[in-house]
Amino acid sequence: MAPGTAWRAGLWRAVCGAGWAVAATCAAGATPVPTQHALAASVPAPADLALTAAVQQYEQGRITAAGRAFERLARQGQPAAIHNLAVMHLRRELPQASPRRAEALFRQAAEAGFVTAQFSLAQGLETGQFGPRDLVQAHDWYERAALAGSVPAQVAIGTAYYLGRGRARDASRAAHWYRIAAQGGDEGAMYLIASMYEQGDGVPQDGRLARHWYAEAARQGDVAAAAKLKAWPEAGPTAPP
């Protein structure tokens, strides 16, 4: 069974990789790699410090102060702050909170390349958080986020192709995205691509690759994958992805 997606938009911190980084770096879906030509990137920028302080205010229950801080940063074009304002609108934590305003803010940050906002916008459009559901537009944004490296978005667009929901049904494209998400560490995607290799659904039937991905899913604690391996007719070596 292909997984669905659930709304889980949350406040975003300017954290990427092992330490603090500018939001634009994280928005590109990349983990910063310090080099001798980019050491300054390891030092938090003032806007990132302000974002961190605003998130801390929010977590301390100082909602009004946090909202004002996010608004100041949003006016400066800080995508993470724009995203966080959208979340506060959805949670009705701001004066005159509005799902439509949340959508506009998510879209602003998403169009600026902020991958977290692209995924949040897609989820809201899919689930009807902003108004009538729009599956086609939702999966346009899932695909954009998937291409930028978002593993949950890769699972979501794979599911769209698998079920023919917001996309024409295409098992081979579903397998493509499930494989990439599996390589990114998603346990559910590992099971799904294993099943597709086992059945020859969208990919050439390949027992060794099926067993490999069931084994990977089982190592991450997937009970169904472990049961598949236990019942597997051959206990031979698994193949790499």
Residue 87 has pLDDT above 60, yes or no: yes
- Other CB atoms closer than 10 Å to residue 134's CB: what's the count? 17
Q: Pull the structure tokens for residue 163.
A: 């079920």
> Does residue 217 contact residue 194 with C-beta atoms inside 8 Å?
yes
- What residue spans of the chain are helical by DSSP H? 23-27, 46-59, 63-75, 79-90, 99-111, 115-127, 135-147, 151-163, 171-183, 187-199, 207-219, 223-230
- The CATH topology of domain 170-241 is 1.25.40
Q: Which fold has domain 1-143?
A: 1.25.40
Three-class secondary structure of residue 241 per DSSP = coil
CB 84 within 8 A of CB 49: no
Judged by average pLDDT, the poorest of 2-6, 24-28, 93-97 is 24-28
What pLDDT digit, counting tens, does each position of 22-48 carry? 233 343 333 222 233 333 334 456 778
Q: Are domains 1-143 and 170-241 of this chain identical in fold?
A: yes
pLDDT in the model for residue 211: 93
When pLDDT is averaged across residues 84-92 and rounded to a whole number, the result is 91
CA 105 to chain centroid: 18
Q: Domains of the chain: which residue ranges?
A: 1-143, 170-241
What is the separation, in whole angstroms, between the first and last Cα of the chain?
21
- 211 or 24: whose pLDDT is higher? 211
pLDDT score of 240 = 54
One-character DSSP codes across 73-105: HHHTT-HHHHHHHHHHHHTT-STT--HHHHHHH
Report d(CA 171, CA 160) in Å as an integer: 10
Q: Once rounded to an integer, what is the mean pLDDT over residues 62-89?
A: 92
pLDDT at 11: 57
